[in-house]
Amino acid sequence: MKQIVALTASPAGSAHARLAAEALRAVAAQSGHGFKVEVADATAGSTGVLTAADIAAADVVLLAVDASVETSRFADKPIYETRTSAAIRHPQAIIDAALAKVSPVTPAVSSAPAPVAAVPAPAALVATAVKRLVAITSCPTGIAHTFMAAEALKKAAAALGHEIRVETQGSVGAKTQLTAAEITAADAVVIAADTNVDLSRFDGKRLNRVSTKEAMHDGKQVIAAALVLPVPAAGSAGLAKNVEQLKANRGSARSGPYKHLMTGVSHMLPIVIAGGLAIALAFAIGGIYAGNEKGTFAAALSQIGGGAAFQLMVAVLSGYIAFSIADRPGLAPGLVGGFLAQQLGAGFLGGIVSGFLAGYLTLFLARKIKLPDNLEGLKPVLILPFLSTLTIGLLMIFVIAPPVQVVLSTMTEWLNSMRGANALLLGVILGSMMAFDMGGPINKAAYTFGVGLLGSQVYTPMAAIMAAGMTPPLGIALAVLIAKNRFDADERKAGAAAAVLGLAFITEGAIPFAAKNPLRVIPALVLGSAVTGALSMVSGVQLLVPHGGLFALLIPGAVTHLIPYLLAIVAGTVVTTGALLITLPKSSSAGVPANA
């Protein structure tokens, strides 16, 4: 029996911290381990505060936290850190991973000599020696996949007997940032990212770059592959060659145009959300013509949202697509091309075109222009930005913007005039796309379409998209609530968390359930989302903000036809639940109480 002490904390509120504490306590009790937990709450005060004697008697310290906490009192104890969401959903795995820190298992050495050819020396070293790794995880929206990939890598490293520190680059910026000392001491680096990540600080290190999906599904293989890579020669050329080779080995969409597009979208999102909320408040205070009342507070809000933020969104989208392709030299031509697209009426379609053109043109020029070593520094700050910006600007004005403007205008008029069957069909398509891969390329394609149209003042697709993205986890949560016998113990524990994620428009909350039985779960999710998307479009609901879920609806003016919108979400949730009850068989562990 081991003695575990734990600390749970979440800036989102004490509910997450308490749920994590109870889930961990129940699993520890089942396993026969001693367990004491402190629930940190800055507002109401901490409960179960750990004493010096508690800590001294502990074999391991488990931190289930969503923000940095003071750990000096645990200085001489092994520490395992995770997030409250992981502790709530997978408490058994978290307890096991924490206990693995106490005494990592060293593989037994066979008395019989192993064939030399069958066990290469590097692999043997990886298997028997404790290695230090550092990692970065990042996804386009910086919410679910970022932290799920981090958790998977931590669990995989613990299972292999290695140590890992993970920096998460999420929607609120980088958390648990890696220090220079940690990077220097690391034997290998793992980058699990679907967006562009600055790799300059990892020069001279083994570096394995994968998608967040690969890290989540096969963390052990990702870590093992990183440790057997050759150590590159120090210097930027060695690192660049290593990274380029890794990219060349992956022909998937995530390492190509899709990834570049998502980098642009992730940087554009905060501007769109801030602008959309400002416009919604302006409408709530001064009505739909608030911008015409010069000198009023409502007009100022309208100017901030529509006159500033929405005018910048296409430029940022274009700029960061180019940045993802060509790094910093691509930023200037991308920003200028996107700004011209907005000015010339080409909108987000023109911005996407200008971003890719600026990025690939800059990359082409960087490879083709050769300068003496003493003049090489001029390329990224003078030659490349100037030549690319001039070329992209002229192309946008004379070649690209005019036809794209016609296409965008036609599409905008068509979408604004949609009624009846046409609106229903578009809602079905968008809704189905949101549920099909739950945060994957198809989901993100629909989402990008809706966000881009906000800049053209077309708001109905965004409403259908967000509603349809909420119903998969909500439908699963309702199914868990009313039909526990269709889910195993871990899934029943995760039901409440799925509901919260659904309300927050985090479609990825359905992934753990769909991954276990995709052929039965995904069709049910698609059906429910298609119903919600269709009802939202037919009802003519307009949504001015691209994220936030139910919480965004609390902003006055953010959504029109609120009651039909809520009914569409409820209808899709009920349809999803009903379909799951038909497709899912009874669980073999249905008789095992979730809290036993």
- Pairwise pLDDT comparison (563 vs 514), residue with the higher score: 563
pLDDT at 546 over 70: yes
Confidence category of residue 578, pLDDT binned at 50, 70, 90: very high
Flag whether pLDDT at 347 surpasses 70.
yes
Q: Residue 174's pLDDT is what?
A: 65
For the chain, the average pLDDT equals 82
Dihedral pair phi/psi, residue 541, rounded to 5°: -70, 135
Cα atoms in the 13 Å half-sphere on the side-chain side of 87: 31
State yes or no: is 169 an active-site residue. Answer: no
Nearest to 29 by CA among 2, 67, 11, 61: 2
pLDDT at residue 76, rounded to an integer: 82
Strands (E), 293-417: none
pLDDT of residue 108: 40
Angstrom distances, CA of residue 586 to CA of 347, 373, 579, 581, 582: 50, 69, 14, 9, 10
Is the pLDDT higher at 317 or at 10?
A: 317
561: pLDDT strictly greater than 60: yes
Q: Which of 241-245, 438-442, 532-536 has the highest mean pLDDT?
A: 532-536
| pLDDT of amino acid 307 | 87
Read off the pLDDT of each residue in 264-274 and give the average, rounded to a whole number: 87
Measure the CA–CA gap between 262 and 442, rounded to whole angstroms: 12
Percent of the chain, pLDDT > 90? 33
pLDDT for 110 beyond 80: no
Q: What pLDDT does 122 receive?
A: 39
pLDDT at 19 (0 to 100): 79
Each residue's pLDDT tens digit, 580-593: 999 988 765 544 44
What is the full DSSP assignment across 27-52?
Answer: HHHHHT-EEEEEE--TTT--BSPPPH
**Active-site residue, from 28, 139, 428, 499:** 139
pLDDT of residue 127: 40
Confirm if 451 and 265 have CB atoms less than 8 A apart. yes
**In terms of Cα–Cα distance, which of 371, 309, 310, 359 is closest to 332?**
359
Q: How many CA atoms lie within 13 A of 357 on its CB side?
A: 25
Domains and CATH numbers, the chain: 3-101 (3.40.50.2300), 131-228 (3.40.50.2300), 257-415 (no CATH), 420-583 (no CATH)
Stretch 313-341: mean pLDDT, rounded?
A: 93
What pLDDT is attached to residue 12?
62
pTM: 0.56
Mean pLDDT over 422-439 rounds to 91
Q: Are 284 and 311 in contact (CB under 8 A)?
A: no
pLDDT grade for 255, boundaries at 50, 70 and 90: low
Average pLDDT over residues 172-195: 83
Q: Which residue has the higher pLDDT, 585 or 478?
A: 478
Whole-number pLDDT of residue 89: 73
As a whole number, mean pLDDT of residues 79-91 equals 80
| pLDDT at 91 (0 to 100) | 83
Maximum average pLDDT range among 135-144, 228-237, 294-303: 294-303
pLDDT of 13-55, one tens digit each?
667 788 788 889 888 888 889 999 998 876 667 788 899 889 9
Distance CA 302, CA 293 (A): 10
DSSP 65-94: ESS----GGGTTS-EEEE-HHHHHH-HHHH
- How confident is residue 121, by pLDDT bands cut at 50, 70 and 90? very low
- pLDDT-based confidence at residue 595 (cuts at 50, 70, 90): very low
User: What is the C-alpha to C-alpha distance for residues 514 and 516, in angstroms, rounded to an integer?
Assistant: 5
Rounded to 5°, angle at Cα 5 from 4 and 7:
140
pLDDT at 107 over 50: no
Q: Which of 96-100, 320-324, 383-387 has the lowest mean pLDDT?
A: 96-100
